[in-house]
């Protein structure tokens, strides 16, 4: 692994501003960031980044920003927003990134809880939210924007450039105004506050130090051999700890080239153009990509479709072994090479994954079928297990030991143990300092000797790999004692391109039931090819033909569960297709698209009850938030389908 260039061996580089200064001195011409703007990639060197950061930091100082102050950052992945975090840290302040799709109420909570008096926003959309917050929170006194479009007639704002101009004037008279503050920083200082996704209530602000983040960046890089110049596309929310480690901390520690897409809508095109060597995608993104591939194959000609089916079947059988250096016959190697030429290579190029050396997925459990699909194509996809409170890294799959049913082995200096209750605990140099302004939650999560309660149920297998069963609070039992692990079941359902989201119920019940959200794109394409008319999501979800389609896929999951002695008793017996998509704006998902199971159970209680009282249909009316922020209601009557129980299939004894 390459760390910060060594221009002075005695210099302590324990903060990111210090690392930036070192990179600018020793390798200033090397690319650090790229941004696609108006269809053209703009490249910024380390020296240019250092100048941008210093000018912004100096400008913030003229506005009264002081050591210990906090600045909220909100917007899509933009170099200037990343630089603003380093500028804040240069002055001894703490950046607080917020999810860009947060509604005003959610953003207001973070601003107030963090006690932020400064904020920098990408564009008019985010500025409008902040101005609304400012009306009831005058302590939020300084608003800075990056993109000026639509803001010409706004009053009381400062542009990014205006703040830098103020900084240039200060530096002209006091050249070391920023450098002297950078020198005061230490590894133990607060580096950032990252708010958790809030699956069970209000988000908590996890305070991470430079020591936490630098250790995590180095440990992850050493584990998989990241090197200076490796490329990644930064498209995930800046408020998420994964993006902060990959796109920010490892950027400075390793010397990665961070590429920012033009917009959320162009991510796939930008991914193909960059061809990253280092990649991360949460399960939802991987599921969506498979859905797109499935749709394209449905629309392909007969020969192309048959070739795809034949070679992907071969790939699933031998691809992972080839990737891990296992034994594969010469004929299978030849056929796989042919498949790579005709199918896998073009597909990886379409997905922007041709150059990937290492790829991770995490954030929530990923279905083994989805995970295996990418490895079958020759993509070095691994699972990692981590948390905001761990500075991401707890376990990763080592090379040659990648198993779909595990999340790998502990990263260096990470200790794992399993409590008697089955809960996973860890301890490492990456463990967070505290939850901001919440000593009670800190004490509940982190023990005095540094062990962190994950809230996940799991165990270490004979290979030393960690296996996560589900969230500890979600794992339960049916009334007959059968194990019920909802996420395990839901991931199997979401492997099918027609199923976008699933929520399983069963703890304390006689059998398992499920809510289904269809994938509008995949099911819409399927319906159009069959001349099935529809005018909305609700209408499509109510079609009996769509229920037949989903029922067939759930029955396949049940057959699969019948082969698993742990889960054979947890087959789905009844289901319904929800009349609306589950949305973060309605509180049903977190901002990282995790299901808020308890909230959904309460919100849709009449539907849950109907699944268990032999009803054939159920009606409900719920409040919703539309894309433009307006409130309204949506109601519908959902049909309930029954499914036959598949007899458990005992495992064959080895001969």
pLDDT cut 70: percent of the chain above it: 96
Given a contact cutoff of 8 angstroms between Cβ atoms, the answer to whether 231 and 277 are in contact is: yes
| pLDDT of the residue at 587 | 87
Q: How much is the pLDDT for 365?
A: 65
Residue pair 500/515 in contact (Cβ under 8 Å)? The answer is: no
Mean pLDDT of 205-233: 97
- State how far the Cα of 305 lies from the Cα of 290, in Å rounded to an integer: 15
Q: Are 610 and 618 in contact (CB under 8 A)?
A: yes
Per-residue pLDDT for 7 more than 60? no
Q: Is residue 245 part of a domain?
A: no
Which value, to the nearest 10 degrees, does the dihedral of the CA atoms of residues 36, 37, 39, 42 take?
-60
Q: How confident is the model at residue 201 (pLDDT cuts 50, 70, 90)?
A: low
Task: State the pLDDT confidence band at 6, using cuts at 50, 70 and 90.
Answer: very low
Distance CA 648, CA 222 (A): 45
Query: From edge to edge, which strands make up the β-sheet containing 40-45?
Result: 40-45, 31-37, 257-260, 231-233
Claim to verify: residue 23 and residue 115 sit in the same structural domain? yes
* The token pair that represents 345 in the structure block: 């290579």
Q: How far is residue 208's CA from residue 190's CA, in Å, rounded to a whole number?
A: 6
Q: Identify the band that residue 363 occupies on the pLDDT scale cut at 50, 70 and 90.
A: low
Residue 236 lies in a domain: no
pLDDT band at 650 (very low <50, low <70, confident <90, very high): low
139: CATH:
3.40.50.12780
Q: Give the 3-state DSSP-derived string for 275-337, with helices as H, strands as E and coil as C.
A: CCCEEECCHHHHHHHHHHHHHHHHHCCHHHHHHHHHHHHHHHHHHHHHHCCCCCCHHHHHHHH
**pLDDT per residue over 433-485, tens digit each?**
999 999 999 999 999 999 999 998 888 999 999 988 877 788 888 999 988 98
Tell me which residue of 213, 195, 294, 239 sits closest to 81, measured CA to CA. 239
Distances (CA, A) of 130 to 110, 552, 561: 11, 48, 49
Asked if the model's pLDDT at residue 619 lies above 70, the reply is yes
| Contact between 636 and 620 (Cβ < 8 Å) | yes
Q: Are 53 and 20 in contact (CB under 8 A)?
A: yes
Question: Do 178 and 287 share a structural domain?
Answer: no
Lowest mean pLDDT among 67-71, 333-337, 586-590: 586-590
Domain check: are 500 and 616 in the same one? yes
Given a cut of 60, whether residue 171 has pLDDT beyond it is yes
Q: How confident is the model at residue 1 (pLDDT cuts 50, 70, 90)?
A: very low
Q: 57 and 198: one domain?
A: yes
Average pLDDT over residues 114-120: 97
Number of domains in the chain: 3
* 568 in a structural domain: yes
Average pLDDT over residues 135-148: 95
Q: How far apart are CA 364 and CA 359, in angstroms?
A: 16
Percent of the chain with pLDDT over 90: 76
Q: Based on the domain organization, do 192 and 89 belong to the same domain?
A: yes
Last residue of a domain, one of 209, 230, 247: 209
State whether 65 and 179 are in the same domain. Answer: yes
User: Token match 């988000």: residue?
Assistant: 203
User: Does residue 348 sit in the same domain as residue 483?
Assistant: no
CB 256 within 8 A of CB 232: yes
Question: Does residue 655 register a pLDDT over 50?
Answer: no
Q: Among 165, 193, 209, which residue terminates a domain?
A: 209
| Beta strand ranges found along 428-523 (DSSP E) | 434-435, 452-460, 466-471, 476-477, 483-484, 499-505, 512-518
Task: Give the E-state strand segments of 18-117 in sequence order.
Answer: 31-37, 40-45, 70-74, 94-98
Mean pLDDT of 32-53: 95
Kindly state whether residues 491 and 370 are assigned to the same domain.
no
Alpha-carbon span 246 to 32, nearest angstrom:
13
Whether the pLDDT of residue 539 is over 70: the answer is: yes
Residues 311 and 186 in one domain: no
Q: Which residue has the higher pLDDT, 199 or 539?
A: 539
What confidence score (pLDDT) does residue 301 get?
A: 86
Residues 67 and 155 in one domain: yes
pLDDT score at 9: 42
Distances (CA, A) of 29 to 10, 26, 93, 112, 594: 23, 9, 28, 41, 41
- Domain shared by 492 and 364, yes or no: no
| Across 411-436, average pLDDT | 95
Q: What is the CATH number of the domain that holds 556?
A: 3.30.300.30
At 619, phi and psi to the nearest 5?
Answer: -115, 140
pLDDT tens digits for range 245-298: 999 999 999 999 999 999 988 999 999 999 999 999 988 888 888 888 888 888
Q: What is d(CA 416, CA 31) in angstroms, rounded to the nearest whole number? A: 38
pLDDT band per the 50, 70, 90 thresholds, residue 35: very high
Region 377-404 average pLDDT: 94
- Mean pLDDT of the region 510-516: 96
- How far is the C-alpha of 639 from the C-alpha of 367, rounded, in Å? 27
Per-residue pLDDT at 158: 97
Domain range for residue 177?
16-209
What is the predicted pLDDT for the residue at 653?
45
204 and 286 fall within a common domain: no
Lookup result for tokens 């070095």: 380
Question: Is there a contact between 81 and 7 (Cβ–Cβ < 8 Å)?
Answer: no
Q: Please check whether residue 21 lies inside any domain of the structure.
A: yes
CA gap 630, 537 in Å, rounded: 19
Residue 43 lies in a domain: yes
Whether 407 is covered by a domain: the verdict is no
Rounded to whole angstroms, the Cα distance separating 381 from 365 reads 14
Contact at 8 Å (CB) between 436 and 113?
yes
Give the Å distances, CA to CA, from 474 to 48, 292, 301, 488, 504.
49, 31, 44, 11, 10
In a domain? residue 395: no
Mean confidence (pLDDT) of the chain: 91
Domain end marker among 346, 379, 412: 379
pLDDT of 368 above 80: no
Q: What is the pLDDT of residue 12?
A: 77
Confidence of residue 199 (pLDDT cuts 50, 70, 90): low
Q: Determine the average pLDDT of the residues in 161-171.
A: 98
Range 200-209 average pLDDT: 87
- Kindly tell me if the per-residue pLDDT of 186 is higher than 90: yes
Does 556 fall in a domain?
yes
- Distance CA(440)–CA(237), nearest Å, equals 28
Q: Does residue 628 have a pLDDT over 80? A: no
DSSP string, 572-588: EEEEEE-SS---TTTTS
- Residue 491's pLDDT is 83
Query: First-to-last CA distance in the chain?
Result: 47
Name the strands in the sheet holding 499-505, side by side, starting at the edge strand that comes first in the sequence. Answer: 499-505, 512-518, 572-577, 631-642, 617-625
């Amino acid at each position: 692994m390459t760390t910060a260039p060594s221009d002075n061996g005695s210099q302590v580089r324990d903060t990111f501003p210090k690392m930036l200064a070192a990179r600018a001195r020793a390798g200033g011409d090397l690319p650090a960031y790229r941004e696609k703007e108006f269809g053209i990639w703009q490249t910024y060197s380390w020296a240019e980044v250092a100048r941008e950061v210093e000018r912004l930091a100096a400008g913030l100082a003229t506005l009264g920003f002081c050591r210990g102050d906090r600045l909220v950052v909100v917007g899509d992945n933009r170099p200037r927003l990343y630089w603003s975090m380093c500028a804040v840290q240069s002055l001894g302040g703490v950046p607080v990134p917020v999810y860009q799709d947060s509604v005003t109420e959610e953003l207001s909570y973070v601003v107030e809880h963090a006690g932020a008096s400064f904020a920098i926003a990408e564009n008019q959309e985010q500025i409008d939210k902040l101005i609304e917050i400012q009306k009831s929170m005058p302590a939020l006194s300084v608003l800075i924007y990056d993109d000026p479009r639509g803001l010409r007639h706004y009053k009381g704002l400062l542009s990014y450039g205006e703040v830098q101009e103020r900084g240039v004037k200060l530096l002209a008279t006091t050249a070391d105004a920023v450098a002297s503050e950078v020198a005061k920083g230490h590894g133990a200082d607060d580096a950032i506050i990252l708010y958790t996704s809030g699956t069970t209530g209000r988000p908590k602000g996890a305070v991470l130090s430079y020591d936490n983040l630098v250790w995590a960046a180095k440990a992850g890089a050493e584990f998989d051999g990241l090197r200076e110049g490796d490329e990644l596309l930064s498209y995930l929310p800046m408020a998420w700890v994964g993006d902060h480690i990959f796109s920010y901390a490892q950027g400075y520690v390793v010397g990665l080239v961070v590429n920012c897409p033009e917009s959320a809508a162009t991510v796939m095109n930008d991914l193909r153009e960059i061809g990253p060597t280092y990649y991360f995608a949460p399960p939802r993104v991987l599921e969506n990509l498979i859905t797109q591939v499935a749709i394209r194959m449905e629309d392909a000609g007969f020969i192309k479709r048959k070739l795809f089916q034949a070679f992907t079947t071969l790939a699933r059988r031998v691809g992972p072994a080839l990737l891990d250096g296992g034994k594969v016959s010469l004929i299978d190697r030849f056929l796989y090479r042919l498949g790579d030429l005709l199918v896998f290579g073009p597909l990886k190029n379409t997905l922007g994954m041709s150059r990937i050396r290492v790829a991770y997925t995490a954030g929530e459990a990923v279905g083994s079928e989805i995970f295996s699909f990418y490895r079958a194509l020759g993509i070095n996809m691994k699972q990692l297990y981590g948390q905001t409170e761990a500075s991401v890294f707890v376990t990763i799959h080592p090379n040659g030991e990648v198993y779909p049913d595990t999340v790998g082995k502990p990263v260096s200096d990470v200790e794992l143990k399993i409590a008697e209750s089955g809960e996973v605990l860890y301890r490492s140099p990456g463990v967070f300092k505290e939850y901001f302004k919440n000593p009670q939650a800190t004490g509940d999560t982190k023990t005095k000797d540094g062990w962190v309660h994950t809230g996940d149920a799991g165990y270490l297998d004979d290979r030393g790999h960690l296996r996560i069963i589900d969230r500890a609070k979600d794992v339960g039992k049916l009334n007959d004692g059968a194990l019920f692990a909802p996420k395990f079941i839901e991931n199997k359902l979401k492997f099918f391109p027609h199923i976008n989201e699933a929520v399983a119920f069963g703890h304390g019940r006689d059998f398992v039931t499920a809510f289904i959200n269809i994938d509008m794109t995949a099911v819409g394409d399927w319906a159009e090819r069959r001349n099935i008319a529809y005018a909305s999501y609700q209408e499509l979800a109510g079609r009996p033909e769509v229920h037949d389609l989903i029922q067939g896929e759930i029955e396949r999951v049940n057959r699969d569960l019948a082969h698993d002695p742990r889960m054979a008793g947890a087959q789905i017996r009844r289901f319904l297709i929800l009349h609306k998509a589950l949305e973060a704006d309605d509180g049903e998902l977190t901002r990282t698209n995790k299901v808020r199971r308890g909230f959904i159970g309460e919100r849709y209680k009449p539907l849950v009850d109907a699944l268990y009282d032999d009803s054939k249909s159920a009606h409900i009316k719920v409040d919703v938030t539309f894309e433009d922020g307006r409130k309204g209601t949506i109601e519908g009557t959902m049909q309930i389908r029954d499914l036959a129980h598949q007899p458990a299939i005992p495992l064959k004894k080895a001969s």
